[in-house]
Structure 1
Amino acid sequence: MPDLLSAPFLISAAVACIAGMVRGFAGFGAAMLMTPIFSALYGPAVGVALCLLLEIAVALPLVPRVLPLVDWRRIGLLLLAAAVGVPFGNMVLTAVEPEPMRWAISAIILGAVAMLASGWRFSGRPNAATTLAAGASSGFLNGLSGMAGPPIAFYYLAGNDPAAKVRANLTTYFVFVDLIALTAFASRDLIGWSTGVQGLFLAPAVMLGGIVGERLFPLASEAFYRRLALLLLVGVAVGSLVI
């Protein structure tokens, strides 16, 4: 059982609650806040695994309400590709020096943000190849850093779907892709009993934050949602340098 009054646990609980609010509002972005801090407190492998556990916990109360807006065909293609990408990212996490990967991830995300900020959008619906590429890159990043969000957020924000539908698809997608990543971690014995217990005790904090964020979502305009999403992506790019 974790020491509930220790500084690391209290910091983790506060970060989890704030991350839950971000996830509940935007549909993504929780890992951006949790992964760097959890990795600093507990080490990269434990930090990423703990982040994945809490990402699933925060989504559980949110998913039932968004299911009617989910495009299951696109989610299925994304998850199919992500299932291929996750093991590769997981292998890189334990086999490759992280510094070059951090800079590469940051540069890619910032480039995507610049494209979105310029007003670029998909003309029509993304095709199957684009969908599979987004899913594979998302899965790779999830296995590597617990941050599956940037490619999928870019994929949806570059379209013309309303904010409510974007958020619904993001919320649902991340539940399944995090389960895939956790399976990859467990198969390589990277999730110990203590990590699971830690996640169990932190779950109420992240779930509470998620509910608060969900209540705030209807108060925001479409323009505000997209601006916040871009700011979150910039935060991911900067945060990837300190994971």
Structure 2
Amino acid sequence: MELLAGFTALQIAVAVLATLGAAFIRGLTGFGFGILLVPILALALKPVEAVLAINIMAGLLAFSEIRLIVKNAEKSAITISVLVLLATLPGLMLLDATPPALARFLIALVALSAFFAVLLPRRGAEQPGHLTTGLTGLTAGVLTGFAAMPGPPVVPYYVGRDIPRMTAKASMIGVFGVAALAGVGSGATLGVLEWRIVVLGVALFPLVMLGNWVGSLAFGKVNDKLWRIIVGVVLAAAAVAALVKLL
């Protein structure tokens, strides 16, 4: 508890409630943890602290779902994950050099962009070309470091195609797991990963498991069409929240 002494009771309460809600959405959709949680947590903590705490939780969660990822993920997730590893450190360096107020503004814009990206016309099931896949991975890496949000480029890449929802969900979970680990490693490399952030992330992780489990139960009870509608609603909610903060 001494390591958590640097956080106020209000900060911890915000982190608890926001984490539980974001984890439920993540279990239901396969994404949304960072998109929904970073803008809220960055208001209670420093942006770097929020990003690293979320990456710790997301990385631990990905480890618990290795079997799902290996069984159902598309091979493109490997390529995107490798590129995420390469681009995460530059993104975190950019965040660390950005004033907190500007960082919060830019993080809100990232959350807003996710909604508009998924509105692009639906494509077929075929995997996009090397250029699209490469740009998706690099952009996701930079956004992982800067905002703990690899989702804006990755979600449209999978959800925007006519592939089974389980394939889309497992692929996104795999990429996001690698992104989270890259974010934590980059934070340690730059020396901005404090022990109290690690303790906070680990302390919140049981709530992540609980919310994700309840969301996964709901995932099994919806069909593909309804699931895609829910994905759109989640991104719309994140977009509205981002707009409110920008205004």
Match of 1:13 among 8, 16, 20: 16
CA distance in 1, matches of 2:84, 2:12: 31
Structure 1 unmatched runs, 5+? none
Q: Name the counterpart of 1:53.
A: 56
Correspondence for 1:43: 46
Provide the secondary structure at the position in 2 that maps to 1:23.
helix
Q: Distance in 2 between matches of 1:50 and 1:189?
A: 14
Other-structure match for 2:96: 94
Deviation, structure 1 residue 54: 1.3
Aligned pair partner of 2:190 in 164, 188, 191: 188
Contact 1:32-1:239 at 8 Å conserved across structures: no
1: CA distance, partners of 2:173 / 2:148: 15
| CA contact 2:34–2:54 (8 Å) conserved in 1 | yes
Residue 83 of structure 2 aligns with which residue?
Answer: 81
98 and 199 in structure 1: CA distance in 2 versus 1, 3 angstrom threshold: closer
2:85 and 2:178 in contact (8 A); partners too: no
1:112-127 matched pairs, under 5 angstroms: 112-115=117-120, 119-122=121-124, 124-127=126-129
Identity level (%): 23
Q: TM-score, normalised by structure 2?
A: 0.87
Instruction: Provide the secondary structure at the position in 2 that maps to 1:219.
Output: coil
After superposition, the Cα gap between the structure-2 partners of 1:106 and 1:149, relative to the gap in structure 1 and judged at 3 Å, is: closer
Aligned to 1:158: 160
Show structure 2 runs of 5+ residues with no match.
none
- Secondary structure of the structure 1 residue equivalent to 2:191: coil
8 Å CA contact retained: 1:134, 1:155:
yes
Residue 217 of structure 1, aligned match among 216, 219, 227:
219
Distance 1:135 1:167 in 2: 16
Q: Residue 150 of structure 1 contacts residue 236 of structure 1 at CA under 8 Å; is this kept in 2?
A: no
The letter of the residue matching 2:117 is A
1:38/1:50 contact within 8 Å kept: no
TM-score in terms of structure 1 length: 0.88
- Return the alpha-carbon distance in structure 2 between the equivalents of residues 237 and 185 of structure 1: 27
Aligned with residue 114 of structure 2, among 109, 112, 118: 109
Q: Distance in 2 between matches of 1:18 and 1:100?
A: 22
Q: 1-side partners of 2:143 and 2:230: how far apart?
A: 21
Select between 43-52 and 32-41 the one with higher mean Cα deviation: 32-41
Superposed, which structure 2 residues align to 1:199-210 within 5 Å? 199-210=201-212
* Cα distance in 2 for residues equivalent to 1:173 and 1:102: 20
Matched, 1:26 2:41: no
| Distance across 2 between alignment mates of 1:45 and 1:229 | 27
How many residues are treated as equivalent by the alignment? Answer: 239
Alignment of 1:166-177 (within 5 A): 166-177=168-179
